[in-house]
Amino acid sequence: MAQGGYGTTARLFHWITFLLVLGMVPAGWVMTQEGLDRALQDQLFIFHKNFGVIVLVLVLLRLAWRAIVPPPPLPAGIPDWQRQMSLWVHRLLYAMLIFMAVTGYLRVTLGGFPVEMLDALGVPRPPRNDGMAALAQRAHFLGKFLLIGLVLVHVVAAVGHAIVKRDGVFSRMWPPIRRSG
Ligand code: HEM
């Protein structure tokens, strides 16, 4: 199985998304702290908002790619409960990434704030609505707990397969560029 696994396109989608989310979550946390230097806060907000939109685009492209090139089958011998769990954790990860990006976008635009990249592209913003912006803010705040929980389960499972079980599951997605052969 070491030679098989996902193709290079799917691997790049995976690892780029992983790195972006690894940056987005701490940036989101730091930028909302009281007493932060204003210039740093502005930079973090700009990074977080714009890369958040890029994460959304990547996730949607990735799902489209996945529909065209279905994932390779798991190695034989993986128990059924693990197959089911992997299926649901992956589904929820996709759903939560979309949820976080959409609620972040709504919190900002309905609150009357810019998303610089989309504004530069001329994408129209919805009209200001403070009540809905507050709701989106709450959803974004709470959603992060589920997303972080899912990422932890996903990482623990991946590391377990790589180090403990060594059953070829980790090498389906690692390295980011598939070795030929
Ligand atoms: C997958 C994408 C995203 C992830 C994982 C993410 C994650 C987070 C996290 C962890 C926080 C800190 C919440 C807290 O502790 O208060 C946060 C805050 C925030 N995010 Fe995101 N975010 C994403 C996308 C976006 C997008 C696309 C935007 C806007 C275009 C955005 C705008 C914001 C804003 C404005 C805050 C501060 C919330 C507040 O007003 O308190 N986020 N985000």
Question: Residue 109 domain-assigned?
Answer: yes
Question: Residue 166 contacts by C-beta under 8 Å, 6 or more apart in sequence?
Answer: none
> How remote is the CA of residue 15 from the centroid of ligand 1, in Å?
20
Q: Which residues in 54-82 are b (16+ Cβ under 10 Å) and which e?
A: ebbebbeebeeebeeeeeeebbeebeeee
Question: Residue 148 domain-assigned?
Answer: yes
> How remote is the CA of residue 61 from the centroid of ligand 1, in Å?
21
Please tell me the predicted confidence (pLDDT) of residue 179.
85
The secondary structure of the chain in percent helix, strand, coil, rounded to multiples of 5, reads 70, 0, 30
* Cα–Cα nearest to 157, from 54, 45, 82, 63: 82
Please tell me the predicted confidence (pLDDT) of residue 119.
98
Q: For the domain that residue 118 is a member of, what is the CATH number?
A: 1.20.950
Ligand 1 atom closest to Cα of residue 29: 12
Range of the domain at 75: 8-172
Give, for all 181 residues of the chain, the pLDDT tens digit: 445 799 999 999 999 999 999 999 999 999 999 999 999 999 999 999 999 999 999 999 999 999 999 999 999 999 999 999 999 999 999 999 999 999 999 999 999 999 999 999 999 999 999 999 999 999 999 999 999 999 999 999 999 999 999 999 999 999 999 987 5
Cβ of residue 41 lying under 6 Å from some atom of ligand 1: no
d(CA 74, CA 155): 17
Q: Are 99 and 139 in contact (CB under 8 A)?
A: yes
Q: Which residue in this structure is represented by tokens 């972006």?
A: 20
d(CA 74, CA 5): 9
d(CA 156, CA 150): 10
d(CA 162, CA 87): 18
Question: Residue 178 domain-assigned?
Answer: no
Q: Are 1 and 172 in contact (CB under 8 A)?
A: yes
Question: Residue 3 domain-assigned?
Answer: no
Q: Which residue in this structure is represented by tokens 């204003």?
A: 38
Question: Residue 177 domain-assigned?
Answer: no
d(CA 169, CA 152): 17
Q: Give the total number of structural domains in the chain.
A: 1
Neighbours of 10 (CB within 10 A): 19
Cβ of residue 55 lying under 6 Å from some atom of ligand 1: yes
Question: Residue 108 domain-assigned?
Answer: yes
Q: Which residue in this structure is represented by tokens 């065209």?
A: 68
Please tell me the predicted confidence (pLDDT) of residue 4.
79
Please tell me the predicted confidence (pLDDT) of residue 2.
43
- Which pTM value belongs to this model? 0.95
Question: Residue 1 domain-assigned?
Answer: no
